[in-house]
C-alpha cells in the first residue's frame, strides 16, 4: 500500500475507457510482473486515458509527467531546495513514484533528451533501483512501482527516437483510433450529442485520416471529435462547430481547409 | 468567482472591438465548455484586442503572456524565490490563471520552444491539471480557467511550428484584416480623423497588402493605420504621417519604399 | 513629471544636433501620441545624438540600452537580487523607464535576440503595460514613457532581422549622412579645425562612401571625420591623422588601404 | 576493506550469472592488478549482470553510474552543497568509489561527453589519483578501487565514440548473446517457463538477430526473452506475450512487425 | 590622477620598447583627445609591449584583459558577489578603468563575442559612459580613461570579425615585425646573445615568414626568436634551441619541420 | 621554495623514466629561463611520465590538470565559494601553481576551448601574471612557476587546434614511442615479465603501429604493452592477455581484430 504522500495522485473516480481489444488483460499481466510498459500510437487516441483507467483498476496512484526537450534528469529525480535552515531534498516525480509505489507515466517520452531517458534504466531491469546521485542515495523501488511510457511512432525522426537500449526494456502495446462504432459511442458518451451526430463526426474523421501523409501530418483525433460534439451540444451549428474544432486547428493551408470544409458539408 | 489576487488582471473598461463575423458567439460557446482556443491570423489584425474584449464580456480576468524563444517552463509555471526565511514559491502566470480562474492568453505561442508548450498539455485535456513538478503539487484548474493561444500561420517554418499533438488540443478561429468599411470605422474611431481620411488610409493598406509575398513579408496592419491617423490628427501632413507610420517601418528596400510612397501620394 | 530616481538620466546640457529635415517636428508629433519610434540608418550618422537631443528638447529623462546578442529579457525588465534580508527586486532599464516616465532608447535593437524584443510588445500597443512575470507585477507605463529603437538596415541578415510583428509597432524615421555643407559644419564645430580642412575631410568621406559594397562594408561615418579632425587639431599631420582615424579602422585589405590613402593624399 | 559508507553498495546476494567463456578468470586477473576494464557488447546481453557478479565474487562494493549526455564532471566527482552552516562537499559516485575502495561501473560510457570521460584518466594510469579541482584535493585511490566501463560498439558514431586516449587505458572483454542452450537455460531459470518454451523463445530471438542491419537496429536481447517468458508464466498466451515483449518494442514498421509476428507463429 | 585602487596596475619600470615609426607620437595625440585606439598586427609583434610602454610614458595605470569567446559582459563590467551581509557589487576591469581613470587594454578583442564588444560602445563615443545595468548605475568615465584594443587582421573570419559599428569608433595603428636590424637589436637586448647570433635568428625568421600562407599559418614572431636566444644563452646548441623554440611550436607537419630545420642549419 | 600548500603536489619518489634523447637537458635549460613548454606526441608514449620525472628532478611541485571541452576559465583560475560567513575565494590549479611556484601541467590542452587557453597567455609572456578578474587581483607568478602543456598532433582537427598566438608562446619537445630495446626494457621493468616476453610484446606493438591510418586510429601505446605484461605476470596466457589488453581495446572491427589476433599468435 502506498503512503499518504501519494494521496493527491490517486484516481478516485473510474475514468471512462472503452476497451478495444485485450489491452486491459495484457496490461494487468505486465503489471503483475512489474514489466515496464510502452504505449504506442498517434496523438489523441486514448493512451493517457488508458493508463488512468488501469491505475484506477489496479488501485495504484498515478504520477504523470509530460516530457519535453528541456526536462532534465533533475526534473525527474529530484533536487536540493535551499531553505532557511540549509538545503532540503525534494523527490522528483520519478523518485516519488519509485519510493512510494505509484505507476509513473512518462507521456511523450520521445520528446525528452536521451540522457533523461537513461535515468530510468536502472528502474527498468532486475535492479529496480534509482540512484539519486546528487543525494548519494540508492532508492530501491517500492514493490507496487511500475513505469509506463507513451510513444508516438509517427513522430520518430533522425534526431528523436528512443534508443534500442531503452526500447528493449519495455513491453509494448499498440494503440490506434477505435473502430467506427466504438468511436461514435465514445463521442456520444462524452459530449451528449445524438448517435446520429456522433456517427457523422466519426465519418468526417475517417475521411480526414485518409489524408494523413497527403497534406495532413496527423489524422483527426477522437479528442477533436469530442470538441466538435461538445460545441454542437452547446447549440453551435454543426458546420461552424466542425470548422472551429476539426478543420482550423489541423491545417493552415487554404486548399486543404476548403477540402475539409467540403467534407464536413457532405455530412451536415 | 476569481480571488482578489487577480484584481490587477481584470478588464474593467469595455475594450473597443468591432466584431467581423460570428467569432464572439463561437468563443462564448467554446468558453462554456472551457475548450482551449487558438486565434489564428496575421500581425496586428486584432487577435489581442479580441481576447481582451471576450475577457471583458465574460467578466473573467485575463493574464497575457508574450511568448518568446527563451521562455522556460518555469516562466509559465512558477519558481522558488529565495527569501530571508528560505525559499518561497511564486506561481507563474499559467499557474496563477489555473489556480484562481483567469483566462490565460499565450500570445505568439509558436515563438516558444516546444517544451514550453508541452507544459500546457495537461491543462488542455479532460484532466485540467497543471503539475508543479518542482513544488510537488498538482494544481487542479479553477472551473473558470480557460487557455487561449494566438498563432500567426504566416510565421510557421520548418523550425518553428506547433506540434500536431498541441494543435489538436485547441479549437481554432481564423482572423484577418477587417473589411474596408469596418476597418475605416475602426481607424476613425481610434484616431479621430475624418471618415474620408480613414477611408484613404484603408485604401493605401489594401494596396500594400496585395504586395505581400511580392516584396513585403506582411501586409500593413490596422495598427499601423491607427498610427498614421493619430499623427495626422496631431497636424502632421498625411504624406509625412504615412511615411513615418506606414512605409518606413515595413520596408528597407529603396524601390519598395518609393512604390509605397507613390501609392500614398495617389490618395493624399 | 518623472521621479527623482531618474535624475541621473536627465540630459541637462543641450546636445549639439544639426537638424537635416523635418525629423524634429515629426518626432515631437510622434511623442505627443507616445508612438513607439524606430530610427533607421547607417553606423555613426547621428541617431544616438538625435535621441539625446530630443530628450533634451522634450525635457524627458533618457535611458539608453546598448543591445547585444546575449541580453536577456531580465536585463531589460529586472531581476531579484539576493540581499542579507532576502531578495530585492531591481527594475531593469526598461521597467525603470516605463514606471517613472523616461524615454527608453534601445540602441542596435536588431542585435538582441527576438525573444528579448518580444518583451517590449505590450509596451508598444494600446495596453502600454510591462508584465514583470518573475515579480508577478503588471507595470502600467507612466504617461511620459516612450520607447525608441535604432536599426541599421545594412545589418539585416537572414539570421538577424526584426520580426514584422515588432516593426509594425513602430513609426520610423530614416537617417543618413548629412549633406556636404552640413557635415562640414558639424566636423568644424566638433573639432575646431578650419572650414577648409572640414570640407576636405567630408570630400574624402564622400569618396569612401562610394566604395560601399565595392570593398567596404560601410561608409565612413561622421564620427570618423570628427576623429580625424580632432587629431589634426592636436597638431598631427592631416595625412597621418586620416591614416589613423579614417583608413586603418575601416579596412584590413592592403589594396583598399592604398586606394584610400591615395584619396586622402589628393586632398591634403 | 572498504568503509561503512559503502554498505548500501555491497552485493549481498549472489547474482545469477551463467559464465560463457573464461571471462570470470580474466576479470579476476585484471582486478588483481587493478587494470581498468571495458565490457564490450550489444544491449541486454548481460554486461551489467556480469559486473554485479564479479563484485559479489570479489567481495567489493559496486557503484554503478548510468552515463548520459548531460552528465557533468561534477556528477561523477562531486560538488559543494549549500547548507545552513555554509557549503559542504559531497563526493560524487566516482570519488566515493575511489576514496573508499569500490568497483565503479560507468554504464554506457560512450553516452557521456568526452570531457566527462577525461575526468577518469588520472584514475586509469599509474597515478591512480582523482583531482577534486573544485575542492582543491587530490584523492589517491583506495587499493581496492577499480574502474569498469561498458561500451556498445554498435552505437559508435562519428559524433560519439571513445577517444583512443581513453580506450587505451582499459583492458577489454567482448560480450555477446549466449549460445542457444545457455540462453534457454537462463530464460527458464529467470522466468519459470518450461525448457521447451524457453527453447522456442531463444529460437525466435535467433531469427530476429539475423535481421540486424536488415531492418532491425539491434538484435532481440536476452532480457526481452525473459520479459516474454514472464508473461507466459503469468498465463498470457505465447503469441500475445511475444507480441508485447518481443515484437512491438523492437519495431515501428508494419512489415517488419508482420514478419516477426509470423516468425513467432512458426514456433507457437 | 587615478585612485589608489589602481596602484597594482601602474607600470612602474620603463618597459623595453624600440619604436619603429611615429607610433609613439600618434598614440600620444590620440590619448590627448582620449580617442579609442585599435592596435592591428600579427601575433607576437609587440602590440602588448607597446601599450605597456605608452602607459608608462603617459603615467597611466594599465588594465589588460585577455579576451576570449566565453567572456561575458559581466566579466568586463562587474557583478554582484554574495557575502554574509548580502550582495556586494564588484567592478569588472572595464568599470574599474572607467571609474578610476586607467587605460583599459582589451587584448585580441576579436575573440570576444560581439555582444561583449557592444558593451564598450557607450565608452567610445562622446557620451563616455558605462551603464552598469545590473546595478542601475551610469558610470561617467574618468577624464584619464582611454580604451585600447588589439586586433589581428589575419584572424578575421566569416564568424569572427569586429562589427563596422565597433571599428568606426576607434583610431587604428598598424604593427608589423620590426626591420631586420631593429629586430636583431631587440633579440640581443632581451636575451644577451651576441649581435651575430641575433642576426642569424632574425634571418631564420625572415625565411619562415615567407612561408606564411604556404604551409605556415603565421610567421615566426619576435617572441619566438627571444625564446631561441635565451636557450642559446643558457648553453643549448643553436640547432637544438631553434628546434625547440622556433620549429616544433609552429608546425606539426614533418615536411615543413624538415624544411625549417634545414633553414636553421644553413645559418648555424 | 614553494609553500606548504603544495605539499600534496610534490613528487616524492623518483618516477621511472627512461630518457630517449636529450629531452631532459633541453627541459632543464627551458626551465632555467622559465620558458613555457609544449610536449608533443601520441597517446601513451610517456609525456605525463616525463613531466613527473622532471618535476622530481627539479624538486618542484607538479599540478596536473586533465583538460576537457567543458573546462571553464574558472576551473583553472579559481572561483568564489559560498560559506556561512560569505564568499571565500578558492584558487584554481593554475592560480595555485602560479602563486606558490609549482609546475602546472595542462594535459591534452587541445581538448579545452580556446577561451580557456587564452587565460594562460599573460602567464606565458614577459608579464608572468595571472589576472583573477572575478576577484580583482593580479597574481604575479612565483619565480619557480612554469607552465607545461601536452599536445597530440594526431588529434588536431578543423575544430580543435591550438591558436598560433598560443603555440608561439611555447617551446616544444617531440615525443614518440621509444626504440625497440628501450621499450622492451620499460615493459620488463614495469611488469616483471621476462626480457623475451617483453621483446615479443614490443614486436606486436610495432606491427600494429604500422596499421595506423590503415584501419587503426592510433598505434598501440607502451601503456597497453604494460597492461598485457602485467596480465601475463599474473599467470594469464599470453594469447588471452594480448586479446584483453592489446586487441579488444583498440578496435571494434571484426576483421582488424582477427588480423591483430593473428599477429599476436605469430609471436606467442
Amino acid C1: pLDDT = 42
Residue of D nearest to A170 (CA): D249
Amino acid E247: pLDDT = 93
**Among partner residues E114, E168, E171, which is closest to C68 by beta-carbon distance?**
E114
- Region D86-115: mean pLDDT is 87
Residue of A nearest to D235 (CA): A29
Share of chain B above pLDDT 90, in %: 56
d(CA B188, CA B232): 11
Q: How do residues E83-97 score in pLDDT, each as one tens digit?
A: 656 677 889 999 999
Is F40–E252 a contact, with Cβ atoms under 8 angstroms apart?
Answer: yes
Work out the angle between the directed axes of helices F195-209 and F222-233 (0-180°, nearest 10): 140
Amino acid D169: pLDDT = 92
Give F177→chain D minimum CA distance, Å: 14
Give F47→chain D minimum CA distance, Å: 13
d(CA B30, CA A244): 9
- Whether A contacts E, i.e. 3 or more CB pairs less than 8 A apart, is no
Q: How do residues F4-22 score in pLDDT, each as one tens digit?
A: 788 889 998 999 998 988 9
Q: How far is CA D126 from CA C189, D141, E15, F134, F191, in A?
A: 74, 11, 46, 36, 12
Chain E: partners with 3+ C-beta pairs within 8 Å:
C, F
My answer on whether C17 and C106 are in the same domain is: yes
The last residue of a domain, from among F139, F157, F174: F174
d(CA F65, CA F105): 6
pLDDT tops 90 at residue F94:
yes
**Pairs across C and E, CB distance < 8 A:** 122
Using a 10 angstrom Cβ sphere, with 0-12 exposed, 13-18 middle and 19 or more buried, the burial of residue A96 is buried
What is the rounded (10 degree) CA torsion for C186, C192, C195, C197?
-100
Chain F: partners with 3+ C-beta pairs within 8 Å:
D, E
Share of chain A above pLDDT 90, in %: 57
Amino acid B83: pLDDT = 63
**Among partner residues D114, D116, D168, which is closest to F223 by beta-carbon distance?**
D168
Q: Collect all residues with Cβ–Cβ distance below 8 Å to B49 and sequence separation of at least 6.
A: B15, B16, B17, C126
Amino acid B160: pLDDT = 63
CA neighbours closer than 13 Å in the CB half-sphere of residue F89: 13
**Best A88, A110, A114, A165 residue to mutate vs chain D (most D CBs within 10 Å):** A165
Q: Looking at beta carbons, which residues of chain F come within 8 Å of D114?
A: 68-69, 111
d(CA C118, CA F259): 62
**Among partner residues F8, F43, F248, which is closest to D138 by beta-carbon distance?**
F8
pTM of structure: 0.75
d(CA E172, CA E155): 17
pLDDT tops 50 at residue E140:
yes
SS3 content of chain F, % helix, strand, coil (to 5): 45, 15, 40
**Among partner residues D81, D223, D240, which is closest to A87 by beta-carbon distance?**
D81
C-alpha cell at A198: 456522433
Give E29→chain C minimum CA distance, Å: 6
Of the candidates B248, B148, B264, the one whose C-alpha atom is nearest the C-alpha of residue B206 is B264
Is B38–A71 a contact, with Cβ atoms under 8 angstroms apart?
Answer: no
My answer on whether C13 and C136 are in the same domain is: yes
The residues of chain C scoring below 50 in pLDDT are: 1-2, 156, 158
My answer on whether C233 and C170 are in the same domain is: no
d(CA C136, CA B99): 14
d(CA D107, CA D101): 18
Q: Looking at beta carbons, which residues of chain C come within 8 Å of B70?
A: 72-73, 113, 115
**Best D140, D147, D168 residue to mutate vs chain F (most F CBs within 10 Å):** D168
Q: Looking at beta carbons, which residues of chain D come within 8 Å of F192?
A: none
Number of domains in chain D: 2
Is B66–C116 a contact, with Cβ atoms under 8 angstroms apart?
Answer: no
Give B33→chain C minimum CA distance, Å: 28
Q: Looking at beta carbons, which residues of chain B come within 8 Å of A218?
A: 164-165, 168
My answer on whether B64 and B128 are in the same domain is: yes
Q: Concatenated DSSP letters for A173-193?
A: EE--PPPHHHHHHHHHHHH--
Segments forming the whole domain that contains residue E90: 2-174
My answer on whether F69 and F184 are in the same domain is: no
My answer on whether E129 and E38 are in the same domain is: yes
Is residue D173 within 8 A of residue D23, CB to CB? The reply is yes
d(CA C5, CA C101): 11
Instruction: Determine which of A262-266, B57-61, B220-224, D252-256 has the lowest per-residue pLDDT on average.
Output: D252-256
pLDDT tops 50 at residue E158:
no
Pairing state of beta strands D103-107 and D146-151?
parallel
Q: Collect all residues with Cβ–Cβ distance below 8 Å to B36 and sequence separation of at least 6.
A: B120, B123, B124, B146, B147, B148, B149, B169, B170, B171
My answer on whether D202 and D229 are in the same domain is: yes
Amino acid C90: pLDDT = 87
Is residue D227 within 8 A of residue D187, CB to CB? The reply is no
**Among partner residues C133, C153, C168, which is closest to B75 by beta-carbon distance?**
C133
Amino acid B85: pLDDT = 62
C-alpha cell at A122: 536502472
Which three-class secondary structure state does DSSP give residue C45? coil
Q: Model confidence at E72, in pLDDT bands (50, 70, 90)?
A: confident
Residue of C nearest to E21 (CA): C240
Q: How do residues C191-211 score in pLDDT, each as one tens digit?
A: 999 999 999 999 999 999 988
Higher pLDDT, D42 or C172: C172
My answer on whether B144 and B40 are in the same domain is: yes
My answer on whether E159 and E195 are in the same domain is: no
Calculate the average pLDDT of chain A.
Answer: 88
The last residue of a domain, from among D174, D207, D230: D174
Q: How far is CA E260 from CA A28, E207, E214, E220, F38, in A?
A: 77, 9, 13, 11, 18
Amino acid F84: pLDDT = 60
My answer on whether A131 and A85 are in the same domain is: yes
Q: C36: how many CB neighbours lie within 10 A of its CB?
A: 23
Go through chain D and tell me how many residues it has. Answer: 268
C-alpha cell at F28: 632543464
* CA A69 to centroid of chain Cα atoms: 17
Calculate the average pLDDT of chain C.
Answer: 88
Q: Looking at beta carbons, which residues of chain D come within 8 Å of F8?
A: 138
d(CA D139, CA D100): 10
Output the domain CATH number for residue F91: 3.40.50.300
Q: Model confidence at F2, in pLDDT bands (50, 70, 90)?
A: very low
- Region A256-266: mean pLDDT is 93
**Among partner residues B30, B156, B170, which is closest to A231 by beta-carbon distance?**
B30
Residue of F nearest to D42 (CA): F252
Higher pLDDT, A226 or B119: A226
**Terminal-to-terminal C-alpha distance of chain A:** 52
d(CA D186, CA D18): 7
pLDDT tops 60 at residue D106:
yes
Calculate the average pLDDT of chain E.
Answer: 88
Is B67–C172 a contact, with Cβ atoms under 8 angstroms apart?
Answer: no
**Among partner residues B8, B71, B236, which is closest to C29 by beta-carbon distance?**
B236
Q: How do residues A118-155 score in pLDDT, each as one tens digit?
A: 789 889 988 899 988 777 788 999 999 999 999 887 65
Amino acid C158: pLDDT = 46
My answer on whether F140 and F185 are in the same domain is: no
Phi, psi of B174 (to 5 degrees): -85, 135
Residue of E nearest to F87 (CA): E83
Instruction: Determine which of D55-64, D83-92, E56-65, F45-54 has the lowest per-residue pLDDT on average.
Output: D83-92
Q: Model confidence at D116, in pLDDT bands (50, 70, 90)?
A: confident
Higher pLDDT, B117 or A168: A168
Q: Model confidence at E2, in pLDDT bands (50, 70, 90)?
A: very low
d(CA A21, CA D240): 12
Calculate the average pLDDT of chain B.
Answer: 88
Q: What is the ipTM of this complex?
A: 0.84
The last residue of a domain, from among D174, D202, D232: D174
Residue of E nearest to C41 (CA): E165
**Among partner residues D26, D40, D133, which is closest to F240 by beta-carbon distance?**
D26
Q: Looking at beta carbons, which residues of chain F come within 8 Å of D165?
A: 43-44, 108, 152, 218
Residue of D nearest to A171 (CA): D245
**Among partner residues F26, F87, F127, which is closest to E244 by beta-carbon distance?**
F26
Q: How do residues B98-126 score in pLDDT, each as one tens digit?
A: 999 999 999 888 777 766 777 898 899 88
Q: Collect all residues with Cβ–Cβ distance below 8 Å to A31 and sequence separation of at least 6.
A: A37, A54, A58, A146
My answer on whether D158 and D106 are in the same domain is: yes
Pairing state of beta strands B137-140 and B129-132?
antiparallel
Give C202→chain B minimum CA distance, Å: 24
Give D249→chain A minimum CA distance, Å: 5
- Region E50-62: mean pLDDT is 96
Q: Model confidence at D239, in pLDDT bands (50, 70, 90)?
A: very high
**Pairs across E and F, CB distance < 8 A:** 121
* Residue whose C-alpha cell reads 515595413 in the numeric block: B250
Q: Looking at beta carbons, which residues of chain B come within 8 Å of C172?
A: 244, 248-249
- Under DSSP, the state recorded for F101 is T
- Region F102-130: mean pLDDT is 85
Amino acid at each position: 500500500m502506498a503512503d499518504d504522500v501519494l494521496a493527491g495522485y490517486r484516481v478516485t473516480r473510474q475514468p471512462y475507457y472503452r476497451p478495444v481489444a485485450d489491452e486491459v488483460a495484457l496490461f494487468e499481466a505486465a503489471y503483475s510482473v512489474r514489466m515496464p510498459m510502452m504505449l504506442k500510437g498517434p496523438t489523441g487516441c486514448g493512451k493517457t486515458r488508458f493508463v488512468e483507467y488501469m491505475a484506477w483498476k489496479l488501485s495504484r496512484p498515478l504520477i504523470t509527467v509530460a516530457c519535453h526537450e528541456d526536462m532534465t534528469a533533475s526534473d525527474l529525480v529530484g533536487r536540493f531546495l535551499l531553505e532557511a535552515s540549509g538545503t532540503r531534498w525534494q523527490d522528483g516525480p520519478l523518485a516519488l513514484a519509485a519510493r512510494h509505489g505509484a505507476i509513473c507515466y512518462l507521456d511523450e517520452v520521445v520528446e525528452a533528451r536521451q540522457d533523461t531517458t537513461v535515468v530510468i534504466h536502472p528502474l527498468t531491469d532486475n535492479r529496480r533501483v534509482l540512484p539519486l546521485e546528487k543525494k548519494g542515495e540508492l532508492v530501491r523501488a517500492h514493490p507496487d512501482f511500475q513505469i509506463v511510457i507513451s510513444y508516438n511512432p509517427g513522430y520518430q525522426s533522425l534526431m528523436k527516437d528512443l534508443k534500442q537500449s531503452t526500447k528493449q526494456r519495455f513491453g509494448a502495446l499498440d494503440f490506434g483510433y477505435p473502430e467506427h462504432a466504438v468511436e461514435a459511442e465514445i463521442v456520444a458518451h462524452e459530449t451528449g450529442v445524438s448517435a446520429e451526430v456522433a456517427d457523422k463526426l466519426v465519418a468526417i474523421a475517417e475521411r480526414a485520416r485518409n489524408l494523413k501523409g497527403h497534406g495532413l501530418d496527423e489524422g483527426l483525433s477522437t479528442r477533436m471529435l469530442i470538441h466538435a460534439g461538445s460545441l454542437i451540444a452547446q447549440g453551435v451549428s454543426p458546420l461552424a462547430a466542425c470548422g472551429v474544432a476539426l478543420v482550423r486547428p489541423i491545417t493552415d493551408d487554404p486548399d486543404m481547409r476548403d477540402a475539409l470544409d467540403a467534407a464536413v458539408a457532405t455530412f451536415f
